[in-house]
Structure 1
């Protein structure tokens, strides 16, 4: 009976190991691209792009990058050199896997992309995906609702994902 329990426990450990991506001794190499804005609000259509929202996209991307650095076990690869190229491409959320190809080009094992959908000045949604760079397969998806179009609400949304979802499989 004891050997059966040990076998079951071992099978559970092996199963969990196959679900959580393995990290190399040097750390999983991540390409984290700057979050994008998907503005479906009337305000965006009438007033156009808001520089404050562009700054918020950079801010929440930096918060996410810092969280991965603080967590340890990850090596962030530089994606800054691709900014001009990205500006001429379709949005990463709609490019049918181009994010994985771009991540492979910079030597990443996984790619992290995200976007904020602005429904109105009050209702926004934060979405983030992690894909395997080699296969393009979805590893994990994260979502949070944001109430209010401010620096504080956007940073609260990404901090919520970091605190409650992002590293949960490692805890």
Structure 2
């Protein structure tokens, strides 16, 4: 009798400890994750993308979508129905509010968009921003310098930004 009671108390304590130790699942917010774009400051008008740039932009966008979804705090929405609006308003990083409008139309609460700026052949800047779709308020953003124009350097830049700037907890006295 005493052993049974001790076991039931132990089981109760273990289940309470497990419940306290388990992190609370943060609710996923719906986010429109737009394709990463290329900004070339010296270019006049829109130029066709070089094939390697188009491929790297697609890889970087897929990595951004995968990293955002894997974090579990944001749930990417399908933007297929908004393809015409995205093409019409591109580039989204300088259209002042069109990314947020498209995100709202797609049923998202947040807009995630970014661009790679080519400063030199082997020196690029990657910028990614998360904004509220209804107000346009910037919630998080970050920039990283990419040294080297390779698939690995681009993807490392995306993963680093997501982990250390976009979905990380704010740093003390720095947010």
What's the TM-score bracket when you normalise by the shorter of the two chains?
0.7 to 0.9
Q: Is residue 2:34 matched to residue 1:33?
A: yes
4+ runs deviating over 6 angstroms: none
Q: Is residue 2:140 matched to residue 1:140?
A: yes
Q: Is residue 2:83 matched to residue 1:83?
A: yes
3-state secondary structure, aligned to 1:52 = helix
Kept in 2, the 8 Å contact 1:40–1:120? The answer is: no
Q: Is residue 2:168 matched to residue 1:168?
A: yes
3-state secondary structure, aligned to 2:169 = helix
Q: TM-score, normalised by structure 2?
A: 0.75
Q: TM-score, normalised by structure 1?
A: 0.76
The runs of 5 or more residues in structure 1 that have no matched partner are: 1-22
Matches within 5 A, 1:69-80: 69-80=69-80
- C-alpha displacement at 1:94, in angstroms? 1.1
Q: RMSD in angstroms over aligned alpha carbons?
A: 2.4
- C-alpha displacement at 1:160, in angstroms? 1.5
Q: How far does the alpha carbon of each residue in 1:109-168 deviate from its partner, in whole angstroms, 9 at most, with x for none?
A: 100000000111111000011110011111111100001111111111112112322221
Q: State how many pairs are aligned.
A: 146
- C-alpha displacement at 1:24, in angstroms? 7.4
Mapped to 1, the partners of 2:48 and 2:95 lie a distance apart of 23
Structure of larger gyration radius = 2
Tell me which residue corresponds to 2:60: 60
Tell me which residue corresponds to 1:122: 122
Kept in 1, the 8 Å contact 2:86–2:102? The answer is: no
The runs of 5 or more residues in structure 2 that have no matched partner are: 1-24
Change (3 A) 1:70 1:24: closer
Mapped to 2, the partners of 1:114 and 1:68 lie a distance apart of 13
